[in-house]
Amino acid sequence: MDEQEKAKIKADKARLRKARTAQRKLKKARADLESLGEITDWEDEFIASVDERLDKYGSAFADPSLGGFSEALSNRQKQVLAQMRRKIKDKGRQAPQDDPAKPQWRSSFKNKSGFTPRVRHIEDEMFEDAGTSPPKAKPKLKIIDGGKA
């Protein structure tokens, strides 16, 4: 077996592996959309036709200008699948938020442990000691006459 045959076998195996991966993603998208009750007829037909072509040909498109030769899905088919996955993510996130006591996700910048630092306000201590309240007006500069005569 020469090098060209080995390279061809390797490329064919990679194409089949990519086709199986694409089929898994399509089936997962269909199952998730059906579980949410959000699948449309067009999405169902799209998934069925792409899945059928992946089974039959190992690729869901024939025109090489639409995507890479070794790819299982064309660029546009990848975009449609990504839109479906985004739809699943958005719909899945909205459902649990009906209960305000259970937020689904939180920012990584927010305080997670409930720790609040003990902070000392110096203004509180200044005016408690003096028995006066803070000044209400801006301090003014006053010029005093004096000096050498």
Give dist(CA 19, CA 25) in Å, integer: 10
- C-alpha to C-alpha distance for 82 and 78, rounded to whole angstroms: 6
Under a CB-based contact definition with an 8 Å cutoff, are residues 26 and 32 in contact? Answer: no
Whether the predicted pLDDT of 53 surpasses 70: yes
Q: For residue 50, give every residue at least 6 positions away whose Cβ sits within 8 Å of its Cβ, in sequence order, or none.
A: 22, 26, 60, 73, 77
The set of residues, in sequence order, having a beta carbon less than 8 Å from that of 128 and lying 6+ positions away, is none
Does the pTM of the predicted model rise above 0.95? no
Q: Which residues contact 134 (CB under 8 A, 6 or more apart)?
A: 123, 127
Average pLDDT over residues 20-40: 91
| Per-residue model confidence as pLDDT tens digits over 80-115 | 999 999 999 888 777 555 556 665 666 677 767 777
DSSP, residue by residue, 43-75? HHHHHHHHHHHHHHHSSS---GGGS-TT-SS-H
The Cα–Cα gap between 86 and 80 comes to 10
Angle (nearest 5°) at CA 118 between 115 and 119:
130
Residue-level pLDDT at 134: 63
Q: Identify the band that residue 26 occupies on the pLDDT scale cut at 50, 70 and 90.
A: very high
d(C-alpha 96, C-alpha 88), whole Å: 13
Span 20-24, average pLDDT: 91
| Alpha carbon distance 110, 116 (integer Å) | 12
